[in-house]
Chain A
Amino acid sequence: MSRRNPKYPGSFWEHFTQWRRGEYDPSQGKMEIKAPGKKPERGSWLPSALSQEMRDDYELGMKRRIGAFQRVYRVMALLLALTLTVLLLVTVSFLPAFGDVNAPENNEVARRYIEKGLEETGAVNIVAGMILDYRAFDTFGESCVLFIASCCVLILLKVDRDEDPHSQALEDMNDRHYEPNRDTVLQMAARLLVPVIIIFGIYVVLNGHLSPGGGFSGGAIIGSGLILYLTAFGFERTGRFMTEKLIKSLTLCALGFYCIAKSYSFYTGANHLDSFITPGVPGEILSAGLIVYLNICVGIVVACTMYSFYTLFRKGGY
């Protein structure tokens, strides 16, 4: 039998435990809670003692003032737009000419990316080599921004499912009110297109270091394929594999792997000299060191984010 601490009743930890259980409210009795009062009806602030004529005069005057305000508003808006246009055009004229040798963006960084990119990263696609090798943490930040954005949308739009089966059925019916309801034409088209779209997305992700494309675009293609499947067949078909748990664990695993892999790469000096991650033979599918795996991670994050955005905006849940 465990002994209770004699100081426990009324202590901070007891209150904390109770607050966690929902039995204790620290703000109770301390905060003044007041329901917002009724808004005064429009026009009621005019003294009722005024005659109807004076009221009409007043309203006419208000109308005139609003009309004058709108005229001034339009003129000011036009002036503002013109000033901004002129300002931006003048700024553009001060920029260095396109392709100027002395332009600040033509420095040794860009030259090194172009000249040594293939040799150092092993990626035929220089852009992939840049964003996933030289500037990999930048891309990691972008993936995290996507993840945080989807978290915020989840917080704002997630609807708690009602336990009552009747209201749930009503909700489902409302959900499909304006959506195509078991449309045969759409289902046939989706049956044809969805596999092609998803395979094309996987191809774009896996070939990111060899050809234009990569994690972001490929993930967007996969996500749109999933959304098309969802639109055609409804939640009961996609809910079998795209559950909340799967999306959560996929996204977290992808982000975690990205972070760990790239941290290891930077820890060893970011030059692949002493690590087992080698650039490999340029042009092969399993080359370019980590870029393939990082592309897969980014693709998973983007696809899951797109799909969950769509489901959240449509129904408020997965």
Chain B
Amino acid sequence: MSISLMQFIPAALLILAGIVVMAVGTLGIFRIDYVLNRLHAAAMGDSLGLLLVALGLIILYGWSYASLKLLLIVMLFWIASPVCSHLLSSLEAFTNDKLEQVCEISTLREVEAEEKGE
């Protein structure tokens, strides 16, 4: 299978961008101190990084049965990854007694009242 330059350049750019996003996310996991902030960094690689790498691979190998599988993997991660982040953050909110020291807390009712007021 030969890959033309027209295919190779956008595919390489997309895969590189995906790897950069994942690398930034990994760096964030190790550099950021607080859990909720770290979740943000971790979720980035799962969503944007994975999509970019998968798109790059689809362009590289052409539209085929395998690209459907790649899109399915992206779909699975886009459903599962936000749910994982949600569960982790809710666990942190339940177990951390000093949550108000690290971030602002507002209940759902307060948010709704604020939105009505505006």
Contacts and interface: CB of A to CB of B under 8 A. Distances in A.
Contact of B95 (A178, A189, A192): A178
Interface string B51-69: 0000000000000000000
A198 to B, nearest CB: 14
Contacts of A196: 76
Interface string A188-228: 01001100100000000000000000000000000000000
B91 A193 contact: no
B95 A186 contact: no
B115 to A, nearest CB: 20
Size range of the chain A interface in the assembly: under 10
A183 B90 contact: yes
Nearest to B76: A193
Nearest to B95: A178
B91 A189 contact: no
Contacts, number: 22
Given A180-B90, A193-B76, A185 B95 contact: no
Interface string A18-51: 0000000000000000000000000000000000
Nearest to A177: B94
A193 B73 CA distance: 12
A202 to B, nearest CB: 16
Given A178-B91, A178-B95, A185 B76 contact: no
A212 to B, nearest CB: 12
Contacts of A189: 79-80, 83
> For the complex, would chain A's binding face be called helix, strand, loop or mixed by DSSP majority?
helix
Contacts of A193: 76, 79-80
Contacts of B90: 180, 183
A192 B90 CA distance: 21
B79 A183 contact: no
A189 B85 CA distance: 13
Interface string B85-118: 0110011001100000000000000000000000
A189 B79 CA distance: 7
Contacts of A183: 86-87, 90
A192 B82 CA distance: 14
Contacts of B87: 180, 183, 185-186
A288 to B, nearest CB: 23
B93 to A, nearest CB: 12
A183 B86 CA distance: 10
Closest 6 CB pairs of A and B: A189-B83, A185-B86, A180-B87, A189-B79, A186-B83, A185-B83
Interface of B: 76, 79-80, 83, 86-87, 90-91, 94-95
Given A178-B94, A180-B87, A183-B87, 8 more contacts: A178-B91, A180-B90, A186-B83, A186-B87, A189-B79, A189-B83, A193-B76, A196-B76
14 contacts: A178-B91, A178-B94, A178-B95, A180-B90, A183-B90, A185-B83, A185-B87, A186-B83, A186-B86, A189-B80, A192-B79, A193-B76, A193-B80, A196-B76
